[in-house]
Structure formats: C-alpha cells, structure tokens
C-alpha cells in the first residue's frame, strides 16, 4: 500500500562503488512507488557507475557525496538523524569494512555513524572478496551490533566469474527492508542463531513416484525472513521448496525426512532456537524400486510396505541440553470424533515436549499454498495466543515474539 504525507517514511539509500550500482535504481523505484521518501547517498566511486543526475531524477532530491557539500545544513548528521531506515545496496567490501570499524571519510560513512535507524547492508563483490576472512569478520561485527547484513546471491558476476557475491535482486532487498520497517521493536534476535525447517519431505517409491504432502514452505520461509529482519543468523532447512532463497538466510536443501533430520540436528548443535515448520513424511517405503513400478494390467496393485520415519521434533527435545535451544513445533490439525483441533494440539504439545506449538486448522485444505493464514500459539507453560487471519509474515513475527518472551 502506498503511503503519503505524515505516513511516508524517510529512507536513506546508500550506494557504494560496484558494478551492481545500476540495480539500486530499481530498488529506489520500489521505495518511491510505495510512498517512501528516499535520499540517495552514493560514494564518489558509485558515481563512476551511475551519475548523480539519475539519482536526483528518480528520487526528486539533491544528491551529495561529500561532507563539505552544503555544510550549513550539517548533512553528515542531519541525513542520518532523519532516517527511518538506511539500506546500502550494493555494499562493497570496502564499505562493510569502514562501517565495521567506524571510519567516516565520506557522506555515506558519516551518515551510518550518525544514525540510530536500522541498517540493512546488501553486499555485492567477487566471491574471493566475500569469502575473505577479513570481510567475514566485518560481517560478523555488523550483525552482532544489530545490523542486517544480507547474504549475497549466487550467480554470474562480472566477466566470466560466477559464485556467491552477486547483489540480491532489488525485490528481495526491498522485502527484507519492508520486514525491518514493519517490526516496531529492536533487533531482539541479534546475536542469536535460529534454525527453521520448511516444506514437505518426499519418500520415493521408485525413481518417479513418491509419498509427500501439500506443504509449500511459505510459512517456514516467512519465519526465516522475519528472524533475519530481527537480527538473527538464520539457517533454513528447505525440503522440496521452489521459492527463491530469502535474502540474508543460509539455505540447506534436502529431499527426504532422513536428510532433513541430519541437516536440522547438525544446525541445531549451536542454535538458540529451532522452529520445525516443515511437514516431514511420517512414513517411508521399506525399499525403493530401482526402476519405475509398472502396471500389471490385471487389476492388481503392488504391495508397498512402509516403515515409520524418525520423529525429528521429539529427537530435538530428547537430545537438547536443559532448555537450550528453545524448540517450536507445528501442528496441522483437523477435528474429529476423538477431539477438537485444540484438544489434539494440546495432546501433541504434551507428547512432543516442545516449548511452543503453532496450531493450524487445516480442515478443507486451508493453509496449504496460501499466502495468508491464522494460527494459535500455545506453550508448555500455559501460554496461548491467537493470531488472526492475515499474512503468514504476521504469524512468523508472533512466533518470534513468543520465543523472545521465553528468554525474557
């Protein structure tokens, strides 16, 4: 929804000197079309890629790069003080280093120091520069201070090079910024490592057919994005999901329940919270056929013997040390003759032993593949919170609010 007047937000778009600077023009347009007021602060090097005239035409505001421009307005302080959000895209290795070490030798770096607004960095550089220990140390420092540093995308770089270091697409950066702006709280997950599972696992009968479910991964991805926007380091274990990787999130792709179990338990080793939003298959075939199972043409069907899969949620609870990490389960329930949705959910919470359970009523196929949902979050301590129908991002933030509440 577009905002205007008093509802418009002040955005500072920092642009540093990389070939991906041209993509920042699309990011600027996304903000302005949403009704935000944008001040572009390029570095001198950035202007070698995209000139000031472009930024001024798209933003409708004057562009400066030097602290000595318009000294009477004290720009190096004023711009940062008035910002509701600062996003630096692209953020080069040099810009990340200056921000991490508090250097201030141009208008962008002084603005970063002078602002108390949330800051989002969207790095873009060659793979070797991104993976250099110095850059990684600077990224850790910025994240520990509550800044959101997105992970670069993997893909074609300049020349023939390819790998991690590509600027995330403007839509992904904009979505991350929107999440940050939508959270009226501090970076309360800063310094925390959280693990989220998403999607539905598949158990193959033969090279073609599998046992699966309807989980799209939308809720798990919303949880991962929300956690990243609140400052967390996020590991997302995704099973058979076709959604684009969330910006700033480390994605581990799996197919089967066994693969998910291994990935989740490995990531959970040093995690502060684990949210099992995925839908692992409960059963798998005892044996997988090497070739496609053929029809018999006599009306008989093949006999398929199933065995129960490991219960990842229960294993997480059983193997954790004391109450660390905090463990959140999901329950997709329908009512039946034996009980209501909430009765089944409370029984599952007690049986699994997790700290929180997010309950979805999936009667008549609700929730699956839908961008909106509603849920009830219940806790082992009697906590209960109903999240009304709305975007799955709202449920995601409500879950993290409940997780933070357990540590308060």
Q: Give the CATH number for residue 70.
A: 3.40.50.1950
Domain termination site, one of 160, 182, 204: 182
Asked if 79 and 158 sit in the same domain, the reply is yes
Q: How far apart are CA 328 and CA 317, in angstroms?
A: 10
62: in domain: yes
What's the structural domain count of the chain? 2
Most distant CA pair in the chain: distance in Å? 90
Active-site residue identified among 213, 240, 338, 360: 213
381: in domain: yes
Per-residue pLDDT at 286: 94
188: in domain: no
Q: How far apart are CA 344 and CA 346, in angstroms?
A: 6
Asked if 243 and 355 sit in the same domain, the reply is yes
Per-residue pLDDT at 184: 45
Q: How far apart are CA 114 and CA 67, in angstroms?
A: 12
286: in domain: yes
257-279 b/e (C-beta count within 10 Å ≥ 16 → b): bbbbbebbbebbeebbbbbbbbb
Distance from chain centroid for Cα 205:
33
Q: How far apart are CA 23 and CA 27, in angstroms?
A: 7
312: in domain: yes
Asked if 90 and 239 sit in the same domain, the reply is no
Domain termination site, one of 131, 163, 182: 182
Could you tell me the CATH number of the domain that includes residue 360? Answer: 3.40.50.10300
388: in domain: yes
Q: How far apart are CA 246 and CA 234, in angstroms?
A: 10
Q: Is 240 in the active site?
A: no
Task: Round the CA-based radius of gyration of the chain to a whole number and report it.
Answer: 24
Is-contact 379 302, C-beta < 8 A?
Answer: no
Q: CB neighbours (10 Å) of residue 336?
A: 10
Structure tokens that stand for 253 in this block: 């792709």
Per-residue pLDDT at 48: 94
Domain termination site, one of 182, 207, 230: 182
101: in domain: yes
Asked if 200 and 336 sit in the same domain, the reply is yes
Q: Of 209, 218, 356, nearest to 285 (Cα)? A: 209
Is-contact 43 64, C-beta < 8 A?
Answer: no
Give 60's DSSP letter: S
326 forms beta bridges with 273
Per-residue pLDDT at 76: 58
User: pLDDT tens, position by position, for the chain (408 residues)?
Assistant: 445 444 578 999 999 999 999 999 999 999 999 899 999 999 999 999 999 999 999 999 989 876 666 555 556 577 878 889 999 999 999 999 999 999 999 999 999 998 888 899 999 999 999 999 999 999 999 988 888 899 898 887 777 777 888 899 999 899 888 888 876 455 788 889 999 999 999 999 999 999 998 889 999 999 998 898 888 899 999 999 988 788 778 899 999 999 999 999 999 999 999 999 999 999 999 999 999 988 888 888 888 999 999 999 999 999 998 778 999 999 988 888 888 899 999 999 999 999 999 998 887 655 666 778 899 999 999 999 999 988 888 899 999 999 999 987
Note if the bond before 257 is cis, omega within 30 degrees. Answer: no
Asked if 166 and 197 sit in the same domain, the reply is no
Q: How far apart are CA 361 and CA 139, in angstroms?
A: 40
187: in domain: no
Helix, coil or strand: residue 196: strand
- 388-395, Cβ contacts within 8 angstroms, sequence gap of 24 or more: 391/222, 392/218, 392/219, 392/222, 393/179, 393/182, 393/222, 393/225, 393/226, 395/219, 395/222, 395/358
Asked if 306 and 202 sit in the same domain, the reply is yes
Q: How far apart are CA 235 and CA 232, in angstroms?
A: 10
Asked if 15 and 150 sit in the same domain, the reply is yes
Asked if 169 and 214 sit in the same domain, the reply is no
Asked if 160 and 54 sit in the same domain, the reply is yes
Q: Of 137, 222, 147, 140, nearest to 189 (Cα)? A: 147
Per-residue pLDDT at 119: 92
Asked if 257 and 392 sit in the same domain, the reply is yes
Asked if 164 and 202 sit in the same domain, the reply is no
Asked if 154 and 228 sit in the same domain, the reply is no
Which CA distances in Å does 333 have to 30, 40, 50, 217? 39, 49, 53, 17
Range of the domain at 390: 193-407
């Amino acid at each position: 929804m577009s905002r205007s007047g008093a509802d418009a937000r002040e955005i500072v778009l920092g642009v540093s000197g990389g070939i991906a600077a041209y993509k920042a023009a699309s990011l600027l347009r996304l903000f302005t079309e949403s009704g935000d007021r944008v001040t572009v602060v390029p570095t001198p090097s950035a202007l070698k890629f995209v000139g000031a005239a472009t930024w001024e035409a798209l933003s409708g505001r004057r562009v400066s790069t030097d602290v000595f421009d318009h000294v009477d307005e004290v720009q190096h302080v004023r711009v940062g003080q008035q910002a509701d959000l600062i996003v630096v895209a692209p953020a080069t290795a040099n810009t990340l280093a200056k921000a991490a070490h508090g250097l201030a030798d141009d208008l962008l770096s002084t603005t970063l120091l002078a602002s108390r607004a949330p800051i989002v960095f969207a790095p873009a550089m060659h793979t070797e520069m991104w993976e250099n220990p110095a850059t990684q140390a600077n990224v850790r420092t910025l994240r520990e201070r509550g800044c959101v540093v997105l992970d670069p995308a993997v893909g074609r770089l300049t020349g023939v090079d390819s790998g991690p270091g590509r600027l995330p697409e403007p839509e992904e950066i904009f979505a991350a910024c929107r999440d940050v702006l939508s959270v009226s709280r501090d970076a309360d997950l800063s310094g925390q490592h959280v693990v989220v599972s998403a999607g539905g696992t598949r158990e193959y009968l033969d090279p073609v057919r599998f046992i699966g479910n309807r989980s799209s991964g939308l809720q798990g991805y919303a949880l991962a994005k929300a956690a990243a926007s609140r400052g967390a380091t996020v590991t997302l274990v995704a099973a058979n999901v076709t959604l684009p990787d969330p910006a700033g999130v480390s994605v581990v792709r799996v197919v089967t329940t066994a693969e998910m179990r291994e990935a989740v338990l490995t990531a959970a080793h040093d995690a502060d919270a684990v949210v099992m939003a995925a839908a692992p298959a409960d059963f798998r075939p005892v044996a997988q056929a090497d070739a496609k199972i053929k029809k018999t043409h006599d009306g008989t069907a093949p006999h398929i013997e199933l065995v129960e899969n490991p219960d990842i949620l229960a294993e997480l609870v059983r193997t954790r040390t004391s109450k660390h990490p905090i463990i959140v389960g999901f329950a997709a329930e329908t009512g039946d003759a034996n009980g209501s949705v909430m009765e089944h959910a409370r029984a599952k919470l007690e049986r699994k032993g997790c700290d929180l359970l997010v309950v979805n009523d999936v009667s008549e196929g609700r929730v699956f593949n839908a961008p909106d949902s509603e849920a009830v979050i219940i806790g082992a301590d009697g906590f209960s919170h109903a999240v009304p129908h709305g975007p799955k991002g709202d449920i995601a933030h409500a879950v993290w609010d409940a997780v933070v509440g357990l540590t308060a």
